[in-house]
Amino acid sequence: MSDRKTLLRVTRRGLLSGAAGAATLAVAPRLMTPAIAQAAPFKVGLMLPYTGTFAKLGQFIDDGFRLYVEQKGGKLGGREISFVQIDDESKPEAATDNVNRLIGRDKVDLVVGTVHSGVAMAMVKVARDTNTLLIIPNAGANDATGPACAPNIFRSSFSNWQTTYPAGKVMVDAGLKNVVTITWRYTAGQEMIGAFAENFTKNGGKIVEQLTLPFPEVEFQALITQIASLKPDAVFSFFAGGGAVKFVKDYAAAGLNKTIPLYGAGFLTDGTLEAQGAAANGIRTTLHYADNLDNPANIAFLKAFKAKTSKDGDIYAVQGYDAAAMLDVGLTAVKGDASARDTLVKAIAAAKIDSPRGPLSFNKAHNPVQNIYLREVRNGRNELVSIAQADVDDPARGCKLT
What is the DSSP-derived secondary structure letter of residue 17? Answer: S
Q: Is 67 left (phi over 0), alpha (psi -120 to 50) or beta?
A: alpha
Of 76 and 141, CB closest to ligand BEZ: 141
Of 115 and 262, CB closest to ligand BEZ: 115
Q: Give the H/E segment covering residue 385.
A: strand 381-392
Of 54 and 196, CB closest to ligand BEZ: 54
CB 117 within 8 A of CB 97: no
Q: Which of residues 122-141 bind ligand BEZ (CB under 6 A)?
A: 138-141
Of 77 and 146, CB closest to ligand BEZ: 146
Choose which of 267, 305, 321, 373 interacts with ligand BEZ (CB under 6 A).
267
Q: Which amino acid is at 247?
A: F
Burial annotation 103-130 (CB, 10 A radius, 16+ → b, else e): beeeebbbbbbbbbbbbbbbbbebbbee
Choose which of 11, 98, 117, 286 interacts with ligand BEZ (CB under 6 A).
117
CB of 364 to ligand BEZ, least distance (A): 21
CB of 260 to ligand BEZ, least distance (A): 23
The burial class, CB within 10 Å (0-12 / 13-18 / 19+), for 292 is middle
Size of the site for ligand BEZ (CB under 6 A): 11
Q: Which amino acid is at 378?
A: R
Q: How far apart are CA 335 and CA 390, in angstroms?
A: 34
Q: Is 131 left (phi over 0), alpha (psi -120 to 50) or beta?
A: left
Q: Which of residues 19-78 bind ligand BEZ (CB under 6 A)?
A: 54
Of 68 and 267, CB closest to ligand BEZ: 267
CB of 54 to ligand BEZ, least distance (A): 6
Binding segment for ligand BEZ (CB under 6 A), chosen from 62-70, 110-118, 123-131, 344-352, is: 110-118
Torsion of CA 222, 225, 229, 230, to 10 degrees: 70
Q: Does position 240 bind ligand BEZ by CB under 6 A?
A: yes
Q: Does position 116 bind ligand BEZ by CB under 6 A?
A: yes
Please confirm whether the linkage preceding 296 is cis (ω < 30° from 0). Answer: no
Close Cβ partners of 395 (under 8 Å, ≥ 6 residues apart): 161
Q: What binding mask, one character per residue, do residues 185-204 give for ligand BEZ by CB under 6 A, x or -?
A: ---x----------------
Pairing of strands 153-155, 133-136: parallel
Which pairs with CB-CB distance under 8 Å and at least 24 residues apart come from 339-345? 339/8, 339/12, 340/12, 340/15, 341/133, 341/152, 344/133, 345/133, 345/151, 345/152
Q: Nearest 5°: phi and psi at 53?
A: -65, -25
Of 179 and 240, CB closest to ligand BEZ: 240
Q: What binding mask, one character per residue, do residues 337-376 give for ligand BEZ by CB under 6 A, x or -?
A: ----------------------------------------
Of 10 and 275, CB closest to ligand BEZ: 275
Binding segment for ligand BEZ (CB under 6 A), chosen from 6-14, 115-123, 245-253, 327-335, is: 115-123
Choose which of 115, 124, 172, 351 interacts with ligand BEZ (CB under 6 A).
115
Name the β-bridge partners of 79: 76
Angle separating helix axes 315-333 and 55-71, nearest 10 degrees = 40
Of 291 and 328, CB closest to ligand BEZ: 291
Binding segment for ligand BEZ (CB under 6 A), chosen from 112-120, 169-177, 217-225, 284-292, is: 112-120
Of 240 and 349, CB closest to ligand BEZ: 240
Q: Does position 334 bind ligand BEZ by CB under 6 A?
A: no
Q: Does position 389 bind ligand BEZ by CB under 6 A?
A: no
Q: Does position 112 bind ligand BEZ by CB under 6 A?
A: no
CB of 396 to ligand BEZ, least distance (A): 17
Of 116 and 288, CB closest to ligand BEZ: 116
Name the β-bridge partners of 133: 110
Q: Enumerate binding residues for ligand BEZ (CB under 6 A).
A: 54, 115-117, 138-141, 188, 240, 267
